[in-house]
Structures are given as C-alpha cells and as structure tokens.
Amino acid sequence: MNIDLAETWFLGGVEIPGRLVLAPMAGVSVQAFRRQGRRYGAGLVCSEMVSVAGIQHRNERTLGYLRVSSDEHPLAIQIFGSEPAAMAEAARMVEAAGADIVDINFGCPVKKVTKTGAGASALDDPGRACRLVEAVAEASSLPVSVKMRRGVENGSRTCLSLGPRLVEAGASSLTLHPRSAKQMYTGVADHALTAELVSLVDVPVIASGDVTSRAKAQTVLGTTGAAAVMVGRAAQGNPWVLREMMGDAREPSREEVVAELVLFMRETVRELGEHRAFGFLKKFYGWYLGRGRFPRPFKQELVMLPSLDEVETRLFAAAPGARFVLERLLSELPDPADEVLLDSLPISIYGGG
C-alpha cells in the first residue's frame, strides 16, 4: 500500500498541504512544537486545548495560547468548555488571533476536564454536544473541527451515532481517536470504528491513535478511507518521525538532535518565559535524547542542572558540531516579529479599555 502522504486535502475551505496532522497535546503543543512539526512535514498543526473559562476570565496564561506565528499555518486552535455562549466567545477570539480552524475537544479523558461537562464527557450528552458545535459554527467564519473518542465506556459506539449529528450542527471535519475515555491510552486504537465513521459522514475524517510510522500511517489511511492521520505521542521530542512518514527514513545525527533540542528550548523560553520554561522542558530531554541516541544517565544529568544556560552548554559539549546545525536552523526561521501578539487583537474581544 503506497498512499501519497504529501497529497493536499481540504478542511472546510482551508487547504491542508499533506495528510499528517500534528495532534493537540496538553503540556506539549506549544508554539515551538507546532512550528517544528510544520518544518518536518505536518500539513496541519494544532494548539493544546484552550479553556474557554480561562478566556472568559482573561487569564494571561490562557490568552498566551492564542499567539500565532506566520510559519504555523494552517493552524487549528482547540477549545474546550461546556457552555455554548462561552464557546462562541472563544471561537471569535480564535478567529481574531489568526487561526485557520477552530477545533472542539470532545476527547480529553482527564477528570479535571470531564467533571466540568467538557472533553469526553460531552459524548454522554449528545444534545449539548450539538449545541456547542452549533454555537461555535455560528460565532465564527472559520471551519469547525471536532476531536472525539469512541465514547466514555469501553466498547462504546457513541461516536457513530453522534458524528453525523455533529456534522449537521456545523462541523466541517471530525477526528476520531477510537479508544474510550476510560481506556485513556491503554490498549489498541480500533480503526475499524474509524472506517465506519468515514462511511457515515460526508466531511473529512482524521484518524488518530497508534500512528507511529510511515507504514502504520499508510495502513490506517488505506483501510479507513480517512482524509488524514493524526500523529501524537510518537512526535514528542521526535520530529524525525514526521520526516520518516513523509518518506525520508534517515536517522538524525547526534548534532541534529542537540540542535533541534536547543532551538526548541530557546523558542519555548521566548514563548513561556525563563521560569515556566525551565520546568516545562525537563520532560523533553528524555524524549529527544532517548531511543538510543544518548546514554540514559546524560538525561538525568541535564535534569539536575540549575539553569537552561547550563543545560545548553552541556548539550553543546556532548555534540560540538550542533552549533553549526543550529546556525542553519536559525537562518531559516521567520522573523519573530511576524507573530500575532495579544495586544494586536481587537480590544472589544478582550473587554474593557
């Protein structure tokens, strides 16, 4: 089976230049992660989920998720909430921020999200789920996508009855992760369910779950008829998996790994600030340096260092040639001034002044 993963498709009126979608992942999908994903072959990238309650309360950290860089497009910003009016307000802000697509999260299984009626719990209330989609579709001119699980309970087929109703409510695309919310990330994604959903709706379906290689991506696309596949955990600290899926199976050199990690660190500091970035980045060291690329104790050494400057110094000591790779990467990035900043959004959306 040889499916062209570089083939263009459309989500609503948005042209997506490739059939790989980089998943929205909480605590991972910062702007630096998304920009890297686009460089390595993702046709569409997604923000981590943004709380509409945080938007309503003008929480500074929440609003920070709405910064958009020129090299992210096409970009979907994902929102979650349980009240139609709040979701509509968030959709308007997503559009003003410069996103290309507004995505709704009906898939998150984490209790602090589901207990509010958001995330995967919306699957147990189809009427409310449809009202949320309708509110978002009416509030914004952007195409609306919905990411969902098969259902809350193991073995559930809720997605098959709800999916067509979400399309009727205004969804231009559906993403299905065919595990139940109770499964979290255990077991195997049942893509036979994805194929059934594809047969029931006339909008593009994105297949999510267990897509870890070019062979797996092509198999899922070929057996389900999905328009695209979503890549999640396999790309954490490993943009080279996207490159492999696009047909370039070269393993990265140590210098390339270190250069990408240092660039990711610097871009994350620019986005989150030094203090937040210091703790946030620690999980990425193992993701980048694992897979046999560096000895395991090296990651532990980095985690114990007291500053990001010292982490960077130690990385360059381990792979001196990475400095030259980094220089090349930096020369290819767009000017940070091309980013949509919060103070460039309409005051009426933020309220006040």
Active site residues: 108
Length of the chain, in residues: 353
Q: What distance, in Å, lies between the first and last C-alpha atoms of the chain?
A: 58
Dist. CA 55–CA 53, nearest whole Å? 5
Question: Which residues are registered as beta bridge partners of 233?
Answer: none
With the C-alpha atoms ordered 2, 18, 172, 80, is the resulting torsion angle positive or negative? Answer: positive
- The answer to whether 208 and 232 have CB atoms below 8 angstroms apart is yes
- The answer to whether 308 and 277 have CB atoms below 8 angstroms apart is yes
Dist. CA 211–CA 217, nearest whole Å? 6
- The answer to whether 242 and 20 have CB atoms below 8 angstroms apart is yes
Of 147, 165, 155, 225, nearest to 190 by C-alpha is 155
Q: What is the dihedral angle through the alpha carbons of 127, 130, 136, 142, rounded to the nearest 10 degrees?
A: 180
- The answer to whether 322 and 258 have CB atoms below 8 angstroms apart is yes
Find where tokens 């220089």 sit.
327
Question: Which residues are registered as beta bridge partners of 247?
Answer: none
Residue type, 246: M
